Structure 1
Amino acid sequence: GGNYIMALKPALTDLPIKTADAGFYKGFSKDVTIASKFIIGGLVIWAVAFPDQAGSVLNKFNSFILSNFASWYIWVVALFVLVCILLAIWPAAGKLNLGQDGEKPEFSNFSWFSMMFGAGIGVGMLTWAVAEPVYHFGNNPEVIKGLTNGGTADNIRMAYKWSFLHWGLGAWACYAIAGLALAFFSYRRNLPLTIRSSLTPLFGKALSGPFGNIIDIVAVVATILGVAQTLGFGVEQFVSGLARIGIGGLQTAEGTASSAGIIVAIVAIMGASTLSALSGVGKGIKWLSNINMVLSIALLSFFLLFGSTFFGLQALVVGIWDYLIAMPDMMFRVWHGDGNPDSVATKLAGWQGAWSVFYWAWWVAFAPFVGLFLARISRGRTIREFVLGAMIVPSLMCFVWFTWAGGTAIDLELNGGAGGVINSAPDGDKIFAMTNFMLSPISEVLSWLMSFMIVVLLMTYLVTSADSAVLIVNTINAAGDEGPKARPHIIFWGVALGAVVAALLLVGGLKAIQTAMVIGALPFSIVMVLMCFALIKAIYNDSRREKAGMDTIATPAE
């Protein structure tokens, strides 16, 4: 009766991926690179040539996804959180080293946390740490249900509960799963550092061929669209900042970026990013990361010292408590509309689609990018260290930003006499409106310097995100090899990324980018669910292999 138990085979430690030997694509997988260029190029040409059609098709897609896949997005992110917790507490998994046995981490804890923080949330903090709590303070599911009142003191705790949901453990679980899968199969099994390697326990050698190519293409497209979303928000904010420091003429009457503003901002950001990517990770990215870490700390310290310090502390402590208690409900609850546009059910479903589903898609689209980065900086750490480090520390950092930067905004609007100047500003401009309100009475010069510092900080964040994305797309296209740094390829993806953002912003503004990204993230969310199963299967089989005295670690070929 023993023959139905699968005989234990050695782990797969060799996954050849065909790359070109010569010519323009030397070192790159032609299938992956050319197909992803066609998809991204096609999207840009379509959006520019047929803007109205593109806008309406994207909208139809958007409502289709929200009505049919909202539950899918909500539940997969809940699954990622559960899998991360399982891996941290499962004894066979927790102590495994993401590297050779006994290998020590390459980076100190401080550097490791700084880089993790910078990769995952940089830009988001500058727009959303102020804008999101202010939004939820005005409206959230409790307000829709009539339990609290928008914009009054009884709504402060709700504002934080929902902000923490979107930037807390759910977001970081998406990154942790992708990073863990990549690190495990690259550093323990010696497989190529690319997305398809993480599915070898499920599909084995089949991943060398077209099936594996499709998985890598899906990851490249998701990455480009996820980073385009970040750059889209960044462009709006960058143009607001330029107007604040005296470079005007780039905005429409409503205070959003005009077409000229969009193009100026994209050229500046993508030009700097492409130059930085050409200089490689060592020089460009490290140098920029250091600048933006210092400036971030300076900006946060300003809010801690001169913002609503006590209000922020209270919001942080109470907010974390509220969040942890409400988390099981918030992570699994899916609201469905009932067809009546004015009913509470439909409003709740609409709110969830615009906020939670959008964020979950964004974090999934960002996962190949942040995951690959996390894998590269976490070699030699144990799985438990990795999961706890990548989930808890960055979540807490987000919470601190949200409570002190966003809390100061709410406090100034409620009790500080801001009189709507922060609330009425466009999202990207809220942080400028707030620092301006705080500093102008003291000194116009200080106010200008602060706006200037935020513009520089924003620029370094956007450039770091964009150039890391370009390098990571090239790593996936080159079958996991960071070697071939062909200049034309870096320039191509730099231009392509800028073109996607510009084309979609000109077609339908941020809404168009958001829709393209929610669609692009969908196939990759399926890949991530498979990653979870592959990781669990690999770790379970490795513990059986160890008992049988088999090798579970492949030594890298010299």
Structure 2
Amino acid sequence: MSIKPPLMDLPIATAESGFYAGFSKHVAVISKIIVAVLVIWAVVFPEQAGKILDTINSFILSNTAYWYIWIVALFVLLCIGLALWPSAGKLRLGVEDDRPDFSNFSWFSMMFGAGIGVGMLTWAVAEPVYHWGNNPEVIKGLVEGSSAENVRNAYKWSFLHWGLGAWACYAIAGLSLGFFCYRRGLPLTMRSSLTPLFGKSLSGGLGHLIDIVAVVATILGVAQTLGFGVEQFVAGLTRIGIGGLTNEAGTANTMGIVVAILVIMGASTMSALSGVGKGIKWLSNLNMGLSIFLLAFFLIFGSTWFGLQALILGVWDYLIAMPDMMFRVWRSDGVEGSIATSLEGWQGGWSVFYWAWWVAFAPFVGLFLARISKGRTIREFVLGAMIVPSLMCFVWFTWAGGTAIDLELNGSADGVIVGAPDGDKIFAMVQHMLSASMGWIMSVIIVILLMTYLVTTADSAVLIVNTINAAGDEGPKARPHIYFWGIALGAVVAALLIAGGHKAIQTAMVIGAFPFSIVMVLQCIALVKAIWRDSQRERAGVQTTNPDNAPEPAE
């Protein structure tokens, strides 16, 4: 039986004239309607929206814990398998002559900045401190919370949420898109990654649905990240002397939210208009440089030895415990306050929430990774997109968060860090460590760094949403839509924060992530099938790449 060549043409109907010229109206219009309805609903009927979203969220978290825990484990195993698979690992995301468009430094900078730079600034201090106080070992009564004996457990669980699992989600989405776009010449949009399963039927309604799911998940996933960032940005502005932006509890008030959104989304929209090769690349290099400076501060002036111990022991504990942590699902025994019920609640609020967050973030980061990774091999992509960013997160968590824990352990901080809101913990720590003037200067640097991360994340998200709406194409015709999605993304964050705070954003994000998690499992199947079939095609002398139709990454 003859082996057929792979599908190398997937036409997607786009408007020929008018405001939507060059765009898939089905995807663009329906996506905008869904987002607009969500914003209006959250603002006009906040109580009703909150109750309904909470009900749906509770149902998803209580009935899909197994699903989220196990699919992320699948993503990690598949990424490792593809890197080790000899015939798969050497394949390029492109034709054989293609080479990377960006240096390794710029590649890592853009990948890290768009991936979890914002969240890392919030949680590098806040999460280790939280898990130091409470984690599954504490719930089981095996160790005392906020004790020296609980430090290693704090890092084991922090690394679980910010390590290989998170980046495997991004790698699967990015690898699938890069493979089918740059090897097959298919449109750089989510539907292309499922062509081995559904073929040309993806040109129609099924493909539109997949891209709409990706757009909505992206907006909600990025809104979650920006929500944390906005709170921390306002906390930073307050620390450097700009008043009137927080309430009595120390969190952002309506004025603070509006000011932060206007500044961040205004700057990000301008950056998005300049494209990946200019504004986003420049900002990514800037925030990587500032990140290195801030990390050097913690390495030199923080708890250096404590952080080094936490890093080495934490990585060891994480790797040893990872099989159990990645697959174990705790279920309630129905008794309120029991250990089993408490463990289920902890896992739902942390691990399951994080996996939903990373899945919702995956279409955005995955497509962005694909756009900046043309010419790299699958092995290079997987190792670069999983291991290097994970290690960066681990270093941040151990030296920044480790300094905070050490200051609390030795009694120097006296609860100043633990008692601060999550977004304010890093500011509370540096101002405790330094004199008033130096603490102010360091707070300004952190605010600037946070600003660059927020802008990089938002402008990358706007470009990615536009790329999906434009059937994989991004160019000058997208400018009016860049303005729209910049405003829409800011409106989603502001509306949900004002209506219900972080809880509303988390709820909307978890709901939006579930449909795309199904798409990601299908991507895994499609990718393995395509690589396996290509090995058969190569033995039969059948062409597997389309050098004449591979779109170039946007500048």
TM-score range for the pair, normalised by the shorter chain length: over 0.9
- Matched residue, 1:529: 521
Structure 2 distance, partners of 1:113, 1:50, is 42
- Matched residue, 1:3: none
- Matched residue, 1:71: 66
1:452 aligns with 2:447: no
- Offset, 1:107: 2.3
- Alpha-carbon contact 2:106-2:285 (below 8 Å) kept: no
Structure 2 distance, partners of 1:117, 1:261, is 27
Pairs within 5 Å for 1:395-406: 395-406=390-401
Pairs within 5 Å for 1:67-466: 67-440=62-435, 444-466=436-458
Q: Deviations over 1:20-53 (max 9, x none)?
A: 0000000000000000001100100111111110
TM-score w.r.t. the length of structure 2 is 0.98
- Offset, 1:416: 4.9
Structure 2 distance, partners of 1:377, 1:238, is 28
Structure 2 distance, partners of 1:242, 1:485, is 36
Q: Deviations over 1:482-513 (max 9, x none)?
A: 22443221111011101111111111100110
- Offset, 1:104: 2.1
Identity %: 77
- Offset, 1:102: 3.3
- Offset, 1:109: 2.3
Check 1:275–1:104 CA distance in 2 against 1; reply closer, same or farther (3 A cut): closer
- Matched residue, 2:553: none
Higher deviation after alignment, 214-223 or 274-283:
274-283
Note the aligned Cα RMSD (angstroms): 1.1
- Offset, 1:58: 1.1
Look up the equivalent residue of 1:175 and give its one-letter code: Y
Structure 2 distance, partners of 1:203, 1:318, is 46
- Provide the secondary structure at the position in 2 that maps to 1:448: helix
- Alpha-carbon contact 2:3-2:542 (below 8 Å) kept: no
1:556 aligns with 2:548: yes
- Matched residue, 1:520: 512
- Offset, 1:174: 0.3
- Provide the secondary structure at the position in 1 that maps to 2:376: coil
Give the counterpart of 2:536 among 532, 535, 544: 544
1:507 aligns with 2:499: yes
Q: Deviations over 1:143-189 (max 9, x none)?
A: 00001110000100000000000000000100100110011000100
Structure 1 distance, partners of 2:511, 2:139, is 27
Higher deviation after alignment, 352-361 or 105-114:
105-114
Check 1:538–1:139 CA distance in 2 against 1; reply closer, same or farther (3 A cut): same
- Matched residue, 1:8: 3
- Alpha-carbon contact 1:218-1:524 (below 8 Å) kept: yes
- Alpha-carbon contact 1:97-1:382 (below 8 Å) kept: yes
Look up the equivalent residue of 1:111 and give its one-letter code: S
Structure 1 distance, partners of 2:420, 2:501, is 17
Structure 2 distance, partners of 1:350, 1:30, is 42
- Alpha-carbon contact 2:22-2:477 (below 8 Å) kept: no
- Offset, 1:291: 1.8
- Offset, 1:7: 5.4
Structure 1 distance, partners of 2:413, 2:51, is 39
- Offset, 1:347: 0.5
- Offset, 1:341: 1.8
- Provide the secondary structure at the position in 2 that maps to 1:486: helix
Structure 2 distance, partners of 1:555, 1:486, is 26
Higher deviation after alignment, 420-429 or 459-468:
459-468
Look up the equivalent residue of 1:464 and give its one-letter code: T
- Matched residue, 1:38: 33
- Alpha-carbon contact 2:95-2:545 (below 8 Å) kept: yes
- Offset, 1:557: 3.8
Look up the equivalent residue of 1:488 and give its one-letter code: P
**Structure 2 gap segments, 5+ residues each:** 551-555
1:476 aligns with 2:476: no
Look up the equivalent residue of 2:82 and give its one-letter code: L
TM-score w.r.t. the length of structure 1 is 0.97
- Offset, 1:103: 2.2
Q: Which runs of 4+ in 1 moved over 3 A?
A: none
Structure 1 distance, partners of 2:516, 2:369, is 18
Structure 2 distance, partners of 1:346, 1:234, is 31
- Offset, 1:266: 1.0
Look up the equivalent residue of 2:374 and give its one-letter code: R
Structure 2 distance, partners of 1:43, 1:7, is 51
- Offset, 1:117: 1.7
Structure 1 distance, partners of 2:273, 2:87, is 42
Structure 1 distance, partners of 2:64, 2:299, is 40
Look up the equivalent residue of 2:466 and give its one-letter code: N
Structure 1 distance, partners of 2:401, 2:2, is 57
Look up the equivalent residue of 2:214 and give its one-letter code: A
Q: Deviations over 1:192-220 (max 9, x none)?
A: 01100000000000000010000000000
